[in-house]
A and B are shown apart, each in its own frame.
Chain A
Amino acid sequence: MASMQKKKDVRFGQKQAKILMDLLVYVVLSIAGIIFILPFAWMVANSFKDIRGIYQYPPTFIPEVWQFSNYTEAWTMTHFDLGFLNSALVAAAVVLGQLFTASLAGYSFARLRFPGRDKIFLLYISLMMVPFTVLMIPLYVQMRWFGWISTLQAVIFPFLFTPWGTFMMRQFMVTIPRELEDAARIDGCGFFRTYWLIILPLTKPALATLAIFTFVNTWNSFQWPLIVLGKPKVKTLPLLLASFQNQSGMRTPWHLIMAAATFVVIPVLIAFIVGQKYYVRGIVTSGIKGGG
């Protein structure tokens, strides 16, 4: 009886310790969460202030005067409408293009037998780690030859294919059971129809992962557009945002810059929250498989 009581005490103590530990972890997680979210909150809060609110001392977090017109003002000041159009066009073209080329080549690498297949695949993997910094100078010269400087072609065409995405597609398609295709082949489906009707529907999770990765990367892309897109008409959103802050006079209009930053960030945030599952899976599988 006494020993049972003691056992109960120990278990009770353990439970208390766990609750205490959980509480401590919550506190730490919350503090970290505040640090991570603070710059976003500061950005949004200040996007509604007027210029006096921005330079007011001491500052307040909540705007004293709510100035919603910042958004329309920032929007019209630097042709953000064109920027959105350019960014959306580039992102759509690159995402669709990569889905097509990567899945088709992935199928070819995973399933079809032809001479040189594995050598070509090895070449793909080995060049995957070449940093973009090495490519950008020769690529720029090439764009000049093609007459593509300051055109959207320059930020679309070099990115229509992806060694990384092709690799991912291949790895995914290798795991699809062969029987399904064999049945289709016996029914007289050609290779393309087999790919289109059997393989692609089964590859949806990997396609979703590639799509959201490519969208986020393309939407956020800065260095290469900065190099090849000089004319205002073709600039994508990150370029407009970057040049926006350099137009400042004496007092930097931070309220307008924050408004611009907010509406540039929102599409990626939505894409991430919608496709979080696929995005996280992409990182985790590429991480563990690539690292293992």
Chain B
Amino acid sequence: MAAGIAKRINPEAPKPGGLAEVRRAFTGLRRGETIAGYLFLAPNFIGFIIFMLFPILFAFYIMLTDWSLAKEPNFIGLKNFETMVNDRIFWKSLVNSFYYTFIAVPTGIFIAFWLALALNRKMRGIIFFRTVYFLPQITLTVAAATVWRWIYQPEIGLINHILELVGIEGPKWIHNTKWAMPSVIIMSNWQGIGFAMLILLAGLQGIPEEYYEAASIDGASGWQRMRFVTLPMLTPALFFVVVTSLIGAFQAFDQFYILTEGGPAQATTPLTLYIFQNAFRFFKMGYGAALAAVLFLIILIITVIQWQLARRWVIGFDEDE
């Protein structure tokens, strides 16, 4: 203990984290705290190792094998990735994932932005509307997609009935190769907008009132206040919404599975569904894991690009680093 105090006084004592520090952590007064620290972390850390760290490492092995689960895995190197090059459905599902993500995310955020702006006004009943917009978000996708599957039925569905009332003959929605993806996107946005809206609303509420007052004193018009106060101050919230929505959209699965099951003619098979089908319908574990690695790589690259681009448009982005 005396040595400990001496070291604390001595400025040339080894830096924390050094071997001496480790030794000290296991002796004397600090021993109890160290042991408690590890013990409290243990249940969590054991779960983390077994159900996260190990599977991630294991995935690297699986993707280099052909494994049907019935037999022992065969190590085949990068052959799964070679197979991908000539796999027409893989490319199709890749295109579908991008189509879905890059239409659903921008349109969703655009609508969420206007709703958040409207909800940011000081009026009665705002919380009621906020709750209503958010309800689909917490509804299980399976139930929501089930209801929408019926709403989309060409002959007896609600949408085509409504369209008929105004004299439009509705398309066949989820049964048509051209309309199936827009159908999924509309349903997904109906369900997912609440999340983006809530974050943008919090961002708007975080803008100090003085900024608007200062802008008004300077004679800024409504549009100028929006352009030079609201939008720049909202960029951190927008950035967060863009990044999480992109990641989420690439992982969307439930609505595709229930609404269209990937059809018609693979028009709505995204990468996630194709991975699922390979692994758990055709029992190609190796190929499935290789496809999952591609998905992960795409998400990683897009996230990194977002962080790089953020420097250019997100206010205060560099300061936080």
**Most chain B C-beta atoms within 10 Å of own C-beta, residue among A100, A124, A159, A292:** A292
Is A115's CB under 8 angstroms from B279's CB? no
Count contacts on B: residues with CB < 8 A to the other chain. Answer: 95
Q: What does the 1/0 interface line of A106-145 toward B look like (CB < 8 Å)?
A: 0111001111010010011001011111111111111010
A39 within 8 A of B: yes
Bound-state CA distance A100–B44 (Å) is 9
CB pair B25 A113 closer than 8 Å: yes
Within 8 A of B (CB), among A240-282: 241-242, 245, 252, 254, 257-258, 261, 264-265, 268-269, 271-273, 276, 279-280
Contact, CB under 8 Å: A223 / B37: no
Is A40's CB within 8 Å of the partner chain B?
yes
Mask: chain B, 190-202; 1 = CB below 8 Å from A; 0 = not: 1000010011001
Of residues 36 through 50 on chain A, the ones whose CB sits less than 8 Å from some CB of chain B are 36-40, 42-43
B119, CB-defined interface residue at 8 Å: yes
Q: Is B138 within 8 A of A144, CB to CB?
A: no
When the two chains form their complex, are residues B289 and A138 in contact, meaning their CB atoms are under 8 A apart?
A: yes
A17 → B minimal CB distance (Å)? 10
Instruction: Evaluate contact between A113 and B296: CB separation under 8 angstroms.
Output: no
The reply on B22 being an interface residue by CB < 8 A is yes
A66 at the interface (CB under 8 A from B): no
**Is B215 an interface position by the 8 A CB rule?**
no
Shortest CB-to-CB span from B44 to chain A, Å, is 4
Among A22, A113, A261, A287, point to the contact of B237 (Cβ < 8 A).
A287
Whether A191 and B32, one on each chain, are in contact in the complex, defined by CB atoms closer than 8 angstroms, is yes
Could you give, for residues 13-44 of chain A, a 1 whenever the CB lies within 8 Å of some chain B CB and a 0 otherwise? Answer: 00000000110011011001101111110110
Contact B51 A139 (CB under 8 A): yes
Cα of A206 to Cα of B241 in the assembled complex, Å:
22
**A164 nearest CB across to chain B (Å):** 12
Query: Which of these, B43, B50, B59, contacts A134 with CB under 8 Å?
Result: B59
Q: Which of A105, A117, A127, A190 has the most CB of B within 10 A?
A: A105
Instruction: Contact check, A241 vs B47: say whether CB atoms are below 8 A apart.
Output: no
Q: Which chain B residues lie closer than 8 Å to A284 at the CB level?
A: 198-199, 202
> How far in angstroms is the closest Cβ of chain B from A42?
6
Smallest CB-CB separation from B122: which chain A residue?
Answer: A22
In the complex, whether B305 has a CB less than 8 A from a CB of chain A is: no
Q: Are B140 and A144 in contact (CB under 8 A)?
A: no
**A-facing residues in B218-276 (Cβ within 8 Å):** 236-237, 239-241, 243-244, 247, 250-251, 253-254, 257-258, 272, 275-276
CB of B217 within 8 Å of the partner chain: no
Query: Which residues in A have their C-beta under 8 angstroms from that of B134?
Result: 272, 280
Asked whether, in the complex, the Cβ of B51 is within 8 Å of the Cβ of A158, the reply is: yes
| Interface residue? A12 (CB, 8 A) | no
Q: For the complex, is B45 an interface residue (Cβ under 8 Å from A)?
A: yes
Contact A32 B121 (CB under 8 A): no
Cα-based distance from A284 to B236 in the complex (angstroms): 13
CB neighbors of A among B267-321 (8 A): 272, 275-276, 279-280, 285, 288-289, 292-293, 295-296, 299, 303, 316, 320
- Give the number of residues in A that approach B within 8 Å (Cβ atoms): 98
| Interface flags, B178-208, vs A, CB<8A=1, else 0 | 0000000000001000010011001100100
Q: Are A220 and B140 in contact (CB under 8 A)?
A: yes
Contact present for B48 and A115 (CB under 8 Å):
no
Q: Are A133 and B148 in contact (CB under 8 A)?
A: no
* CB proximity of A13 to chain B, nearest CB, Å: 15
- From A3-11, A52-60, A73-81, give the one contacting chain B: A52-60
Give the docked Cα–Cα distance between A222 and B257 (Å). Answer: 10
In the bound complex, CA of A265 to CA of B146 (Å): 12
A222–B99 CA distance with the chains assembled, in angstroms: 23
> Which stretch in B77-85, B87-95, B150-158, B166-174 binds the other chain?
B150-158
Given A141-B62, A242-B146, list of 18 further CB < 8 A pairs?
A29-B129, A37-B132, A58-B161, A59-B158, A114-B25, A114-B37, A115-B34, A136-B292, A137-B289, A141-B69, A161-B48, A163-B52, A220-B139, A223-B253, A238-B143, A264-B142, A280-B134, A280-B198
B interface list, Cβ under 8 A from A: 17, 21-22, 25, 30, 32-34, 36-38, 40-41, 43-45, 47-48, 50-56, 58-59, 62, 69, 115, 118-119, 121, 123, 125, 129, 131-136, 138-144, 146-151, 156, 158, 161, 190, 195, 198-199, 202-203, 206, 236-237, 239-241, 243-244, 247, 250-251, 253-254, 257-258, 272, 275-276, 279-280, 285, 288-289, 292-293, 295-296, 299, 303, 316, 320
Subset of 29 A-B contacts with CB under 8 Å: A29-B119, A32-B129, A36-B132, A37-B135, A59-B156, A105-B44, A113-B25, A114-B34, A115-B21, A120-B45, A127-B53, A131-B247, A132-B251, A135-B56, A137-B288, A139-B51, A140-B280, A141-B62, A160-B43, A163-B48, A191-B36, A220-B138, A222-B142, A238-B140, A242-B257, A273-B131, A284-B199, A287-B199, A287-B202
- A interface with B by C-beta (< 8 Å): 21-22, 25-26, 28-29, 32-33, 35-40, 42-43, 54-55, 57-59, 100-102, 104-105, 107-109, 112-115, 117, 120, 123-124, 127, 129-142, 144, 157-161, 163, 166, 190-192, 195, 216, 219-220, 222-223, 226-227, 237-238, 241-242, 245, 252, 254, 257-258, 261, 264-265, 268-269, 271-273, 276, 279-280, 283-284, 287-288, 290-292
